[in-house]
Structure 1
Amino acid sequence: MNFPIIHTNFWDAVIAIPIIMIITQLTKLIYHTPSKFVPTIALFFGLFISIFISHRHDLLAGVLMGWFYGYAAIGNYAALKTAIKSYRNANK
């Protein structure tokens, strides 16, 4: 079995991940989504962007990179939230 050749660049990640974070937060605000569903929504948007925009000619590459986009957005959000909480608690 050959693994897919994935052609991605730095800009895919720099643009896709913040867009996923923004869309996920807007979805949370507009639809009042419970927090437990937010990671699933981010993963869905990551898969959507990757399969239909970034890697539309290769489904396997789109799924693989969409998985990375979604989970990178989840990790970045968690890290940002932790850093803000830590900063606020240190300045009390």
Structure 2
Amino acid sequence: MKEFPLVYTNVWDGIIAVPLVLILVQVLKILFSIKGSYISTLSTVIGLIISIFFSHPHSLSAGIFMGFFYGNGAVGVYASLKTSLQAFQRKQ
């Protein structure tokens, strides 16, 4: 039986990778008029690309595992900020 990969997380994961995915998705959304229903998929794909090719290039399984975290983390940050902003605007 194959063992699960040992995945090390560091400052790169939370401070650089997730905001980078968020920024790239927003830029691509503006440039190419991407529908809202495709944003989470685009975020996951960008997260996988960053993780597999830059963050964890020597371990495909670790790259895939962390790529989903990068993409879904960016979607979560976006959803949280959007919800908070809408709630703030309703109170004023």
TM-score (norm 1): 0.95
Output the CA distance in 2 between the equivalents of 1:90 and 1:60: 45
Partner of 1:25: 26
Output the CA distance in 1 between the equivalents of 2:67 and 2:74: 11
Question: Are residue 57 (structure 1) and residue 58 (structure 2) matched?
Answer: yes
- Dislocated runs of 4+, deviation >4 Å: none
Structural mapping, 1:63-78, within 5 Å? 63-78=64-79
Partner of 1:47: 48
Output the CA distance in 2 between the equivalents of 1:84 and 1:19: 21
Secondary structure at the aligned position of 1:5 is classed as coil
Aligned length: 91
Output the CA distance in 2 between the equivalents of 1:11 and 1:49: 11
Secondary structure at the aligned position of 1:36 is classed as helix
Q: CA RMSD in A?
A: 0.8
Output the CA distance in 2 between the equivalents of 1:68 and 1:12: 9
Runs of 5+ in structure 1 lacking a partner? none
Could you list the per-position Cα deviations for residues 13-45 of structure 1 after superposition, in whole angstroms to 9, with x for gaps in the alignment?
210000100000001000000110010000000
Runs of 5+ in structure 2 lacking a partner? none
Output the CA distance in 2 between the equivalents of 1:79 and 1:15: 18
Letter in 1 for 2:10: N
Could you list the per-position Cα deviations for residues 45-77 of structure 1 after superposition, in whole angstroms to 9, with x for gaps in the alignment?
000000000000000000000000000000000
Identity of aligned residues (%): 41
